[in-house]
């Protein structure tokens, strides 16, 4: 087991309980996967392989030089249109949902206003809320706790979605765990309720930040559509001993 941070050489003092959790997490890693957590001293991410050895972070890839001219494609591909969401402002009264238990949702957003609206929307759908301090805290929390919903801002920290470590973590998660999480992406680049866009980004629901005021309605519709589509599949997996 690693004993010091590879970045600042600060000693890593784990409690017995934390050491046991780390050992179990390493044992459960799939081939090629890594375990990531933050150094309590320098806050830099520490990445371990299945044997518990730290990995050196790969150097960023050299930018690909674009050609001076791009040849026009022989055929024009027209993408499907985003769905009509004008019904959001119609003021139609929503039916009340009654839940038997209280599932947990994690909100990973650094914009206070957007985070507050997402939290309110989830609470109105009967979720209890967890808000991590940072990305490392969010990733560490997901290794040891099961969440029904995870909402993430694509512009967290001012970066783009393709550079977000948390989004990469979600995409690399084992399907056994991932299929039980309803993953919501919120950002200016999304068309609200656009299923094809959600699928492209390995999410279950995408929301444009301009419609975040309607988070409660969008979450309710998104979860209902997801359950209608995948409930028979998940039930069949459970019948064959898979969760």
pLDDT tens figures, 150-180? 999 999 999 999 999 999 999 999 988 998 8
pTM, rounded to two decimals: 0.58
Q: To the nearest whole percent, how much of the chain has pLDDT over 70?
A: 79
Please report, for residues 6, 132, 150, 182, the alpha-carbon distance to residue 39 in angstroms, rounded to integers and kept in the order given: 9, 16, 24, 29
Beta-sheet pairing, 128-130 with 104-108: parallel
User: Which structural domains are found in the chain, ordered by start?
Assistant: 1-56 (no CATH), 99-239 (3.40.50.2300)
The per-residue pLDDT for range 50-69, each reduced to its tens digit, is: 777 777 654 455 666 665 66
């Amino acid at each position: 087991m690693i004993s010091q941070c590879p970045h600042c050489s600060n000693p890593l003092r784990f409690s017995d309980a934390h050491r046991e959790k780390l050992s179990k997490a390493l044992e459960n890693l799939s081939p090629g996967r890594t375990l990531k957590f933050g150094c309590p001293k320098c806050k830099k991410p520490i990445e371990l392989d299945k044997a518990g050895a730290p990995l050196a972070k790969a150097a960023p890839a050299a930018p690909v030089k674009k050609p001076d001219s791009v040849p026009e494609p022989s055929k024009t591909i027209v993408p499907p249109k985003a769905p009509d969401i004008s019904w959001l402002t119609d003021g139609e009264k929503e039916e009340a949902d009654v839940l038997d238990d209280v599932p947990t949702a994690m909100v990973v957003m650094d914009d206070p206003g957007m985070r507050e609206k997402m939290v309110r929307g989830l609470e109105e759908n009967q979720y209890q809320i967890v808000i991590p301090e940072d990305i490392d805290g969010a990733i560490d929390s997901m290794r040891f706790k099961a969440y029904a919903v995870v909402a993430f801002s694509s512009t967290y920290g001012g970066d783009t979605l393709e550079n977000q470590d948390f989004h990469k973590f979600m995409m690399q998660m084992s399907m056994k765990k991932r299929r039980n999480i309803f993953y919501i992406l919120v950002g200016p680049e999304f068309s609200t309720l656009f299923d094809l866009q959600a699928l492209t980004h390995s999410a279950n629901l995408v929301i444009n930040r301009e419609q975040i005021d309607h988070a409660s309605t969008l979450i309710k519709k998104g979860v209902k559509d997801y359950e209608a589509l995948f409930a028979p599949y998940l039930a069949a997996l459970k019948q064959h001993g898979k969760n």
